[in-house]
Amino acid sequence: MSALAKTLRWPRPARDELRLALWTSAEIADATGGTAYGEFQVSGVEMDSRDVQSGDLFIALKGEAMDGHRFLDAAFTNGAAAAIVDRPVDYPHVLVEDTTGALHALAAAARNRAKARIIGVTGSVGKTGVKEAIFTALERTSRGAAHRSVRSYNNHVGVPLSLSRMPSRSKYGVFEMGMNHAEEIRGLTTQVRPHVAVITTIAPAHIENLGSMEAIADAKAEIFDGLVEGGTAVIPADSPHFQQLRDAAAKQGAKVLSFGRGTNADMRLLDHVPDEATGGALVTAAMGNIRLCFTVAEPGEHWIDNSLCVMAAVYAAGGDLGAAGLALAEMGGLKGRGARQRVPVPGGHALIIDESYNANPASMRATLAQLGQTPASRRIAVLGSMKELGDFGPQFHANLAEPLADANVDYAILVGAEMAALAREMGKLPRDTLGNPFRFAHCENAGEAIAALQEFGLAGGDAVLVKGSNSVGLSRVVDHFAARKG
């Protein structure tokens, strides 16, 4: 028999018989209870006409202030193959009574047809980075057959949208879930129905709405409510709320796999050696009788803990730990969440550390410590307000004075009204050995921060941390300086 004949007779897995198209018109109509007008196939699902690509299904969602039907022309100009609408239109479409309900129905159909192992990720800090790392590891394990929620699509719209985009051929699906209030994650996890539910950490994010750390832990633990039978909960062993999380998982009949530095951790840190050049580390860990040694490319002490979480999740999902180690070694920082850029300045290049997407007390301390360990001639911190801290806000902001001093920051730019508490505290810091007070500026917005940084003057060898809640808009600071040409 010839080699070609042998190849043609090679057995094909069942998933290889599945269609490459994401959805057909008939499947969309069946899933949503709508009526298809036109016969079509789509390769993606989108709700923002500006992001539509050729072959996408555009869902015309309606909100309090916006109606997606107004953007149908733009969506089809950008290449949409069809739309889900609640009124007849002159394009290929599926007509439904409620487009938001149709999105949720399509998400449910995607989950019901999935043969993939599903991983859900939440936590007060690090959930997007951990989600991306788990995905990268499982994508390598599955040779490209992994799916995940993009960006921070982790709310009541982003989660069903991400589910609806999951191909039937996927071997793994990784979904992020976020919340501002109690009961929100419960509504998301029951849609995702994960085999593995991950909590990265518990920290005072959204404490304004929840009132206490215990309430935050309870809200995060809602992710266990959606676990499939026999599912696994991956939780931080070093957290003060470990037992609370463990009890919540046990209540749902979940197996528990912990990660951390303590001897009680299942995925346990044995040793780590920092890489001063990159800020990453060489990590040695143990999982029962398994010994792991891998490189973490992402800078910062907190990424050592994140890597243990990733390894535990990959193990629970049945992935390849060796492939996961390679993925961690290759990951670069995400925009807004640790991406590092070198920009030309007088005397050489300055390092910009982009943490502009999110901030809470725990992540502020972690990234300031990372800045303090970064080799630099001068260290500069551009810090934006931390939102949703309520009555706890002034104290949490004021408490950043000590980590700023510990990081040997030469100049701080504080942005936003909430930073007034830190500005007052900065004036109390002890003077340096030359008798000089700590140098800082307090600005109202990102534009003023740019001006303050320009007036201070960047020089070769500087390291600049830019971090704040997304609504402060400090990404403008990063973009402004990153646009410089050498």
The conformation of residue 439, written as its DSSP 8-state character, comes to P
Select from 441, 363, 443, 431 the least CA-distant residue to 403. Answer: 363
pLDDT at 422: 94
E strands in 20-145:
23-24, 35-37, 41-42, 44-46, 56-59, 82-85, 93-95, 117-122
pLDDT at 452: 93
Measured distance CA(118)–CA(194) in Å, rounded: 5
CB-CB contact of 309 with 258 (8 Å): no
Over residues 195-246, the pLDDT tens digits come to 999 999 998 876 777 789 899 999 999 999 999 999 999 999 999 999 999 9
pLDDT at 338: 79
Measured distance CA(135)–CA(175) in Å, rounded: 9
Label residue 6 by pLDDT band (50, 70, 90): low
Label residue 366 by pLDDT band (50, 70, 90): confident
pLDDT at 3: 60
- 3-class secondary structure, 44: strand
pLDDT at 14: 57
Q: Is 333 a residue whose pLDDT tops 80?
A: no
Residue type, 215: A
More confident residue, 65 or 429: 65
The domains found in the chain, sorted by start residue, are: 14-97 (3.40.1390.10), 114-330 (3.40.1190.10), 339-482 (3.90.190.20)
Percent helix, strand, coil in the chain, to 5, is 40, 25, 35
Q: Cβ-count burial of 284 within 10 angstroms (0-12 exposed, 13-18 middle, 19+ buried)?
A: middle
Query: Helices 213-221 and 242-251 meet at what angle, rounded to 10?
Result: 30
Label residue 306 by pLDDT band (50, 70, 90): very high
CB count, 10 Å around CB of 143? 9
pLDDT at 23: 97
Q: What percent of the chain is modeled with pLDDT above 90?
A: 72
Q: Is 433 a residue whose pLDDT tops 90?
A: no
Find the DSSP H helices in 2-71. 3-8, 25-32
> Do the bridges between strand 281-287 and strand 44-46 make them parallel or antiparallel, or are there none, so unpaired?
unpaired
Give the side-chain half-sphere CA count within 13 A for 120: 33
The conformation of residue 273, written as its DSSP 8-state character, comes to E
More confident residue, 63 or 170: 170
Q: Is 185 a residue whose pLDDT tops 80?
A: yes
E strands in 186-289:
196-199, 232-236, 255-260, 267-274, 281-287
Q: Is 88 a residue whose pLDDT tops 70?
A: yes
Residue type, 41: Q
Cα→Cα distances 190→78, 102, 149, 245, 422, Å: 34, 17, 16, 18, 41
- Mean of the pLDDT values across residues 263-289? 90
- This prediction's pTM: 0.80
> Do the bridges between strand 281-287 and strand 267-274 make them parallel or antiparallel, or are there none, so unpaired?
antiparallel
Q: What is the mean pLDDT of the chain?
A: 91
CB-CB contact of 61 with 68 (8 Å): yes
Q: Is 20 a residue whose pLDDT tops 70?
A: no
pLDDT at 248: 97
* The two structure tokens encoding residue 110: 């995607």
Measured distance CA(301)–CA(308) in Å, rounded: 12
Measured distance CA(202)–CA(210) in Å, rounded: 13
Q: Is 351 a residue whose pLDDT tops 60?
A: yes
pLDDT at 332: 72
pLDDT at 125: 84
Q: Is 390 a residue whose pLDDT tops 90?
A: no
- Mean of the pLDDT values across residues 10-21? 59
**What is the residue whose two structure tokens read 């402004």?**
480
The H or E element containing residue 302 is helix 302-316
CB-CB contact of 383 with 412 (8 Å): yes
pLDDT at 104: 98
- 3-class secondary structure, 400: coil
Sequence-distant (6+) residues with CB within 8 A of 174 are 118, 119, 121, 131, 134, 135, 138, 146, 147, 148, 149
- Mean of the pLDDT values across residues 276-286? 86
* The two structure tokens encoding residue 111: 């989950």
CB-CB contact of 235 with 245 (8 Å): yes
**Which of 104-118, 121-135, 272-286, 296-310 has the largest mean confidence?**
104-118
pLDDT at 358: 84
pLDDT at 11: 58
Query: Helices 127-141 and 302-316 meet at what angle, rounded to 10?
Result: 50
Over residues 26-66, the pLDDT tens digits come to 999 999 999 999 999 999 999 999 999 999 999 999 988 88
What is the C-alpha end-to-end distance of the chain, expressed in Å?
A: 61
pLDDT at 42: 97
Over residues 109-167, the pLDDT tens digits come to 999 999 999 999 999 888 989 999 999 999 999 989 999 998 778 999 999 999 999 99
Select from 279, 472, 482, 485 the least CA-distant residue to 382. Answer: 472
